[in-house]
């Protein structure tokens, strides 16, 4: 059974850097074709894709947010970390990580982590 869970701060101040961790089980990020991605959903709005990292360390980012995002695999093997710099109120959203296949939309999702940006 594939499970994912996001963790991180619930409140960040404007201009701060957000660091979110996705801890997963039920699959290996060392297996060919496997990836873990991040998406977000502001309250009452549609989903927005952010980034993905694959088993071979290949990474892709949303073009509109690329300069602010970094995605990385943790050496433990079952964690993926997303950092987003220069946070703004417009970044207030629920952030989700998900298991994904190569060049594919997300499949299994975590429960999400609500992040509020406010001073």
Partner 1 sequence: QSVLTQPPSASGTPGQRVTISCSGSSSNIGSNTVNWYQQLPGTAPNVLIYSNNQRPSGVPDRFSGSKSGTSASLAITGLQSEDEADYFCAAWDDSLDGVVFGGGTKLTVL
Per-residue binding string, partner 1, 67-86, x by CB under 8 A, is --------------------
Distances, alpha carbon 33 to alpha carbons 4, 85, 100, in Å: 18, 29, 9
- Token pair recorded at residue 36: 């873990």
Residue 29's CB: how many other CB atoms inside 10 A? 20
For residue 50, the SS3 value is strand
104 is a site residue for partner 1 (CB under 8 A): yes
Stretch that binds partner 1, among 11-19, 24-32, 45-53, 79-87 (CB under 8 A): 45-53
Distances, alpha carbon 9 to alpha carbons 21, 61, 94, 95, in Å: 10, 22, 12, 11
105 is a site residue for partner 1 (CB under 8 A): yes
Question: What is the footprint of partner 1 within residues 51-70 (CB under 8 A)?
Answer: 51-52, 60-63
Shortest distance in whole angstroms from residue 108 CB to partner 1: 7
46 is a site residue for partner 1 (CB under 8 A): yes
**CA-based nearest residue to 52, from 28, 29, 18:** 29
The residue ranges that bind partner 1 (CB under 8 A) are 37, 39, 46-49, 51-52, 60-63, 96, 103-112
């Amino acid at each position: 059974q594939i499970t994912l869970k996001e963790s991180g701060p619930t409140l960040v101040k404007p201009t701060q850097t957000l660091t979110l961790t996705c801890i997963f089980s039920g699959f290996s990020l060392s297996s060919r074709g496997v990836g873990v991605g991040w998406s977000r959903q502001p309250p009452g709005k549609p989903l927005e894709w952010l980034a993905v990292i694959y088993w071979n360390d290949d990474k892709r980012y949303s073009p509109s947010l690329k300069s602010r995002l970094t995605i990385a695999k943790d050496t433990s093997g079952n964690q993926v970390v997303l950092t987003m710099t220069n946070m703004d109120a417009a970044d207030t959203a629920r952030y989700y990580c998900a298991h994904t296949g190569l060049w594919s939309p997300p499949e299994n999702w975590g429960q999400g982590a609500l992040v509020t940006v406010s001073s």
